[in-house]
Amino acid sequence: MPKVSMTVNGNAVTADADARTLLVQYLREGLRLTGTHVGCDTSQCGACVVHVDGKAVKACTMFAWEAEGKTVLTIEGLAQNGKLHPMQEAFRENHGLQCGFCTPGMIMTAVDMVNRKGHDLDDPTIRHELEGNICRCTGYHNIVKSIAAGAKAMA
């Protein structure tokens, strides 16, 4: 099988990938980074969101080879030196998760939101920006609260 190489969470990595291997499969099965989830596999739920060259994308809707040579950030790359990223900490503080399945995608989407929209995010903005992320547990209320708090904490 051909190899695909990229930088993931700061490390140069190489793993096998077919032409049809999706980026999310490459991360989960090739690199054993199972923090990135597959919820729907149809580009709707956002459980698979990672950053490619600094932009949030759905890793179930991109081939691994499309990320050849690119820089990828997954949920595993957020915590530094054993300390949770401020957005992760905010989700914990504000009870922003229940089962946790959607959470990696929610947090990667939230960090992308802050990168694009700044640290002062109001409720309508956050809710609108979450249109590509689905949560079956929380009712979103605490997710929105977590993101507003996390955005401030990232300042």
Partner 1 sequence: MYNFAFHRPTGLRQASNMLGKLEEAKILAGGQTLIPTMKLRLASPGNVVDLNAIADELSGIELKGRSIVIGAMTRHADVANSDVVKQHLPALAYLAGLVGDPAVRHRGTIGGSLANNDPNADYPAAALGLGATIHTTKGKYEADNFFKGLFETALGADEIITKVSFPLAKKAGYEKFRNQASRFALVGVFVSKRGSEIRVAVTGAGSNGVFRVASFEEALKKRFAPKSLEGLTIPATGMNSDIHGSAEYRAHLVGVMARRAVTRANEFAAGEGED
Residue 82: both structure tokens together: 């054993």
Q: Under the criterion CB under 6 A, does residue 40 sit at the interface with ligand FES?
A: yes
Applying CB under 6 A, which of residues 138, 144, 145, 147 lies at the interface with ligand FES?
A: 138
d(CA 64, CA 51): 13
Q: Under the criterion CB under 6 A, does residue 76 sit at the interface with ligand FES?
A: no
Q: Under the criterion CB under 8 A, does residue 42 sit at the interface with partner 1?
A: yes
- Residue 98 binding: pick among ligand FES, partner 1, none (C-beta 5-8 Å cut-off by kind): ligand FES
d(CA 87, CA 109): 10
Q: Are strands 71-73 and 3-8 parallel, antiparallel or unpaired?
A: parallel
Q: Under the criterion CB under 8 A, does residue 127 sit at the interface with partner 1?
A: no
Q: 112-149 b/e with 16+ CB inside 10 Å = b?
A: bbbeeeeeebeeebbeebbeebbbeebebebbbbbbbb
CB of 80 to partner 1, least distance (A): 24
Contact set with partner 1 (CB under 8 A): 18-20, 22, 41-44, 46, 49, 55-58, 61-63, 65-66, 109, 112-113, 116, 129, 131-133
